[in-house]
Every structure is written in structure tokens, then in C-alpha cells.
């Protein structure tokens, strides 16, 4: 997504803001918030994705403990 051009409709959807009434309670996490949390957990930065070779090297070299933290985070963030 980071490497797509700014005028691509998919990339524009990342920044789309929904207006109108919201439901009660804590708001649901957005896709962007979840991705940013996973990046923090893995010690990566959003700009790392701009260099495809670097990104592939980084995500393939992540140790299993980091992946376990991400999976654990996903299970608690998205139960059931």
C-alpha cells in the first residue's frame, strides 16, 4: 500500500474518513491503527515498506518471538 501512487483509489481509501453518528462505547480500531501497532511490535517503520527489497528482508528475518507477540496481539484484539 505504501508504494502505491497517491491518486490510486485503494490508497485513497486508507485515508477516507466516515462521517455521521457513531455507536456507543469504545470505537473500533481502524485497519491503520492495527497495522501501526503490528509495526511497533515488530520494530519496523512504515517507510521501510517503500523499499521492496529491504521490506522483504526485514519481514523474513523477524524472529519467531516477534511473530508470537503479533499473533497474541491479534488474538486479543480480534477475539472469536
pLDDT in tens, 30-53: 888 888 888 888 778 888 878 888
Query: Which residue range(s) make up the domain with 59?
Result: 30-80
- Please report whether residue 41 resides in a domain: yes
pLDDT of residue 80 exceeding 60, the answer is: no
- Please report whether residue 11 resides in a domain: no
Contact partners, residue 15, CB within 8 Å, separation at least 6: none
- Please report whether residue 77 resides in a domain: yes
**Position with higher pLDDT, 47 vs 79:** 47
- Please report whether residue 58 resides in a domain: yes
- Please report whether residue 62 resides in a domain: yes
- Please report whether residue 18 resides in a domain: no
What local confidence, expressed as pLDDT, does residue 64 receive?
Answer: 64
The number of folded domains in the chain is 1
**Position with higher pLDDT, 37 vs 17:** 37
Mean pLDDT of 4-30: 80
User: 18-48 as b/e, with b when 16 or more CB fall inside 10 Å?
Assistant: eeeeeeeeeeeeeeeeeeeebeebbebeeeb
> Hunting for cell 477516507 — which residue is that?
16
- Please report whether residue 70 resides in a domain: yes
Could you tell me the three cell numbers for 66? 516477534
- Please report whether residue 10 resides in a domain: no
pLDDT band at 68 (very low <50, low <70, confident <90, very high): low
Amino acid at each position: 500500500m505504501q508504494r502505491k501512487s497517491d491518486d490510486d483509489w485503494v490508497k485513497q481509501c486508507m485515508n477516507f474518513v466516515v462521517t455521521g453518528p457513531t455507536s456507543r462505547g469504545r470505537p473500533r480500531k481502524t485497519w491503520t491503527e492495527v497495522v501501526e501497532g503490528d509495526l511497533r511490535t515488530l520494530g519496523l517503520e512504515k517507510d521501510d515498506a517503500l523499499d521492496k527489497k529491504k521490506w522483504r528482508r526485514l519481514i523474513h528475518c523477524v524472529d519467531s518471538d516477534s511473530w508470537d507477540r503479533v499473533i497474541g496481539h491479534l488474538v486479543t484484539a480480534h477475539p472469536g
